[in-house]
């Protein structure tokens, strides 16, 4: 092997090792932060819930369930095109976020124990695969609330 071939082989091996290191899942724990939470004031005994969960940590996590004081039946739904379907969990990638928004993925609060009014807050608890539960006080907004128009 010539010196040039040896140097080239070493450089290729180093590049491959660095690439594999970047793909490892050992980048630390998930670090989750919730923002932008709101619930439009319900007009029936069901309500939608919207929020963003940002993961600044080095590994992914998964939202597995949601509990609330206003409903014993809080479910997660994804929307693709015009079709909404219930899902068991939502992934939150490392360095990424999960956005629950109108017209997209969202929470559904079924059979409300009481209909919360604008200005009140609804207490929810988010449960994750890796991270401990996060409690969020969700403000109730007008039925047609749009956070983009704030």
Model pTM score: 0.80
Per-residue pLDDT tens over the stretch 70-85: 999 999 999 988 899 9
| Backbone phi and psi for residue 58, each to the nearest 5 degrees, phi listed first | -95, 0
Count CB-CB contacts under 10 A for residue 133: 12
pLDDT over threshold 80, residue 9: no
Extents of the domains making up the chain: 32-149
Q: Report, at the CATH architecture level, how domain 32-149 is classified.
A: Sandwich (2.60)
Count CB-CB contacts under 10 A for residue 135: 10
């Amino acid at each position: 092997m010539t010196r040039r071939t040896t140097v080239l082989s070493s450089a290729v091996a180093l590049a491959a090792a660095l690439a594999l290191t970047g793909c490892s899942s050992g980048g630390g724990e998930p670090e989750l932060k919730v923002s932008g939470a709101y619930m439009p004031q319900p007009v029936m005994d069901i309500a939608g819930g919207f929020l963003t969960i940002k993961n600044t940590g080095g590994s992914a996590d998964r939202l597995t369930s949601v509990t609330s004081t206003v409903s014993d039946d809080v479910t997660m739904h994804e929307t693709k095109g015009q079709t909404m379907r219930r899902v068991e969990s939502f992934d939150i990638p490392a360095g990424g976020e999960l956005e629950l928004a109108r017209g997209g993925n969202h929470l559904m609060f079924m059979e409300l124990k009481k209909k919360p009014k604008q200005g009140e807050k609804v207490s929810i608890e988010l449960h994750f695969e890796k991270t401990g539960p996060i409690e969020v006080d969700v403000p109730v907004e007008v039925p047609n609330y749009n956070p983009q128009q704030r």
